[in-house]
Structure 1
Amino acid sequence: MTILQKRLLWLRALSLLQIATICGTAFAASAMADITNYETEGNLKPTHRIGCATLAEIGNEITPADLALGFETCMQKQDYVPAVTLLAVMRLRAHFDTKRVTDKTAHGAGQVLTLNALSQLSERKKKFLSLTFERSLARGAETHTAICDHARSNGPPSYIPHYMIQHGLAAFKDKPGPALVDPFDANRAWQNSLTQYFKCS
Structure 2
Amino acid sequence: MSREHKGSIIILGAALSILLTGCHTTPSGHSAQAGTESAASHADPQTQCLPPNASVTRYSPPELYLSAGQCLKQNRLDEAVFLFGTAGSEGRFDTHRVADVTAHQLASFMGVMFMKHVGEEAYGKFSAHMREQLKDDRARRAFCNRLSQLPPPVYHPQYMINHGMAAFTSVGDQQVLRPLEDPRQTWRASVNEYMDCKP
TM-score (ref. length: structure 2): 0.70
Q: Structure 1's 59 and 173: CA in aligned 2 closer, same or farther, altered over 3 A?
A: same
Deviation, structure 1 residue 164 = 0.8
Match of 1:189 among 181, 186, 189: 186
RMSD of aligned alpha carbons: 3.2
Q: Structure 1's 200 and 66: CA in aligned 2 closer, same or farther, altered over 3 A?
A: farther
Contact 2:57 2:86 in 1 (8 A): no
Contact 2:147 2:191 in 1 (8 A): no
Gaps of 5+ in 2: 29-42
Distance 2:11 2:57 in 1: 34
Contact 1:49 1:69 in 2 (8 A): no
Q: Residues 67-113 of structure 1, C-alpha deviation per residue, up to 9 Å, x if partnerless?
A: 01101111222322211211111001111111111111111222222
Structure with the greater alpha carbon radius of gyration: 1
Contact 1:80 1:129 in 2 (8 A): yes
In structure 2, the residue matched to 1:140 is 138
Is it true that 1:73 corresponds to 2:70 in the alignment? yes
In structure 1, the residue matched to 2:155 is 159
1:165 alignment partner AA: I
2:176 alignment partner AA: A
Distance 1:194 1:123 in 2: 26
In structure 2, the residue matched to 1:128 is 125
Distance 2:52 2:193 in 1: 21
Q: Name the % identity.
A: 24
Contact 1:53 1:70 in 2 (8 A): yes
Q: Residues 109-155 of structure 1, C-alpha deviation per residue, up to 9 Å, x if partnerless?
A: 222222222103343222211211111234322x8625623532x32
In structure 2, the residue matched to 1:86 is 83
Contact 1:43 1:162 in 2 (8 A): no
In structure 1, the residue matched to 2:56 is 59
Is it true that 1:11 corresponds to 2:9 in the alignment? yes
Distance 2:127 2:57 in 1: 27
Deviation, structure 1 residue 64 = 0.6
Match of 2:164 among 165, 168, 172: 168
Distance 2:142 2:179 in 1: 32
TM-score (ref. length: structure 1): 0.70
Deviation, structure 1 residue 9 = 4.9
Distance 1:84 1:95 in 2: 17
Distance 1:172 1:66 in 2: 24
Q: Structure 1's 84 and 74: CA in aligned 2 closer, same or farther, altered over 3 A?
A: same
Distance 2:183 2:12 in 1: 33
Contact 2:49 2:68 in 1 (8 A): yes
